[in-house]
Chain A
Amino acid sequence: MSDHDYRPKSKVGQWFNDRLPLLTLANHLTDYPTPKNLNYWWTFGGILTFCLITQIVTGLTLAMHYIAHADMAFESVEHIMRDVNYGWLIRYIHANGASMFFLAVYIHIFRSLFYGSYKSPREIIWILGIIIYLLMMAAAFMGYVLPWGQMSFWGATVITNLFSAIPLVGEGIVTWLWGGYSVDNPTLTRFFTLHYLIPFLILGLVVLHIWALHVPGNNNPVGIDIKKPSKDTVPFHPYIVIKDGFALLMFMIVFAFFVFYAPNILGHADNYIEANPMVTPAHIVPEWYLLPFYAILRSVPDKLLGVVAMLSAILILAVLPWLDTSKIRSAVFRPLYKQFYWILVADVLILGYVGAMPAEGLYLLIARVATAYYFLHFLVILPVLGFKEKTLPVPLSITEPVLGGSPNLAAARNKESKIE
């Protein structure tokens, strides 16, 4: 990296940079050498940054009109929808923004799983990502409680009651979380406070996530270590900035579709009924992005073990770098892993589907099989595969597979050496 050689051109710039090296940082970010073969699955980091900032900006503006009180929260949300100038727009962006955030984060996570981005030397980036993901779930859950509709109230009741599964101290913890003997006003005000706080914690972790990324540099679709900078890399600006920008535009089209044409399709009609502690809705379902874990919770007939299984399903991801014993990163060169990867994708989608269905009969059976397979994948298949699988030969550089089969190989090599 050329960080150490950097010196601002202007006198003022030099004076400033000697005292606070912000210009060095800016130079590092623009010059940052990036593998030249990154595909569009790599654009979701930028998209996620956009999602986070969107949620913070719309959240701040909503907080100017929202009232965190059990008697007024529901009405204040209707007030935002009907009276506040563009309130409907800001709220719909915020509510659908949460879904878009999770859509992007799931693609980001599964990209990492396919190309082995979690493997050495990128374990810390991965673990920071898992912590961010956990915080996202906490923020989304608490945000969903704030409108104080029926799903808000009963979702909060069911999720906080998960802690009552803890032996001995469980009930005490639940009372402490509630600040009362049921979900009520004290619960709402603290959820609002934490919902406000968590995005800024995520922002801090995102900085660490990117910092940790910039130490080894990006993984790439071939999954090999590359020299930086070299003919295998391009500077972040303008190459990646333009590519990320284009992907972001495509993503915003999808985002805008939901906001303007189907703003409530991802929500639940019951949440337009004000919270009523006397009546539970007939069918309680979490938001779509939590359904796979909900299915795992319900597939275990024991209360404590169900909660343990659900938490394990998330936390198992944190130790993934050590469960996967294969030295080869990219699934492109792992013919067996590639198949198991797609089975896992299908498994998680099935879990999501049965999570939305009633927990009985065939659905329950499918949920149990899918839950068992989920853990089988991480605890048995991945560790064994690293030893058993016959991987394909890995190229020595990114340039090699691109030029390997080309009849213009000699000409291209000639041209590259001229560029260098």
Chain B
Amino acid sequence: MSEKKTKRRDFLFTATTAVGAVGAAAVVWPMIDQMNPDASVKALASTEVDVSSLTPGNTLTVLWRGKPVFIRRRTQEEIDEARNVKMEDLIHPEKDEDRAKNPEWLVMLGVCTHLGCVPLNDKGDYNGWFCPCHGSHYDTSGRIRKGPAPWNMEVPKYEFVDANTIKIG
């Protein structure tokens, strides 16, 4: 140990370990990545929904990527209620204007951000949604107001293809 001289043997040892580690990682990664969503799952990325039958005050639930999506045609009352909330009263502050570009239509994932249950319509202390699993209350904009959920219900990417059709994803 007194004289520090790199020997041929040390070099071989380090080089072998390094190549071995890279090789092991290269084999392990495919084993891990095979569990991620596959091509056929990813291919179901978007879905189109006909909303012509939906009257104000009603909600349509459709399946997108295996998850329910709530499409709510809101009444003027609900819109006013959502827009008059003070930002400081919110757990996860988001303006209703940003969540519903067209105020009449609220489109969001019907998945509670706590542990993934489907909240119930027209329930709870804020006239919006209520999650029966662990008691999270959401308002008429789908924002978390009370309970263990940390975030508002997620608004997915969507657009109106025409007046009666929404494309989600």
A75 CB, min distance to chain B CBs, angstroms: 20
Q: Could you tell me the distance in whole angstroms from the C-beta of B87 to the nearest C-beta in chain A?
A: 21
Please measure, in the bound complex, the distance between the C-alpha atom of A284 and the C-alpha atom of B135, giving whole angstroms. 12
Cα A161 to Cα B111 in complex, Å, equals: 11
What are the residues of chain A within 8 A of B149 when measuring CB–CB? 303
**Does A376 make an interface contact (CB < 8 A)?**
no
Give the Cβ gap from A304 to chain B, nearest Cβ, in Å.
8
Closest A residue to B118 using CB positions: A280
Whether B65 contacts A359 by the Cβ 8 Å rule is: no
Is A162 part of the binding interface, using a Cβ–Cβ cutoff of 8 Å?
Answer: yes
**Across the interface, which residues of B come within 8 angstroms of A415, CB to CB?**
none
Flag if A182 contacts B67 (CB, 8 Å): yes
Q: A303-B149, A303-B150 are in contact. Are A277 and B117 (CB under 8 A)?
A: no
- CB-CB under 8 A from B133, the residues of chain A are 154, 158, 280, 284
- Name which of A100-108, A130-138, A183-191, A251-259 contacts chain B: A183-191
User: Which chain A residues lie closer than 8 Å to B63 at the CB level?
Assistant: 277-278
The interface residues of chain A lying within 8 Å CB-to-CB of B38 are 179, 186
Given contacts A179-B41, A180-B41, contact A277 B68 (CB under 8 A): yes
Complex CA gap A176/B37 in Å reads: 7
Task: Decide: B116 and A158 in contact? CB cutoff 8 A.
Answer: yes
CA distance A176 to B34 in the complex (A): 9
What 0/1 pattern do residues 128 to 149 of B give for CB contact below 8 A with A? 0001111100000000000011
Total count of chain B residues near the partner, CB < 8 A: 25
**Interface residue A302 (Cβ < 8 Å from any Cβ of B):** yes
Choose from B41, B117, B132, B148 the contact partner of A181 (Cβ within 8 Å): B41
| A161 touching B65, Cβ below 8 Å | no
A359:B135 contact, CB within 8 angstroms: yes
Across the interface, do B37 and A180 meet the contact criterion of CB distance under 8 Å? yes
Question: Given the complex of chains A and B, what is the CA–CA distance between A162 and B35 in angstroms?
Answer: 18
Give chain A nearest CB distance to B25 CB in angstroms.
17
Residues of chain B with a CB closer than 8 A to A164's CB: 115-116
Interface assignment of A149: CB less than 8 Å from any CB of chain B: no
User: Does A54 belong to the interface (CB within 8 Å)?
Assistant: no
Q: Given the interface contacts A277-B68, A302-B148, A303-B150, does A179 sit within 8 Å of B37 by beta carbon?
A: yes
Q: Given A277-B66, A280-B133, A303-B150 in contact, is the A177-B117 Cβ separation under 8 Å? A: no
Determine the chain A residues whose CB is within 8 A of the CB of B67 once the complex forms. Answer: 181-182, 277
Task: Kindly state the separation between the CA atoms of A186 and B41 in the bound complex, as whole angstroms.
Answer: 9
Chain B residues 95 to 141 lying within 8 A of chain A, measured CB to CB, are: 114-118, 131-135
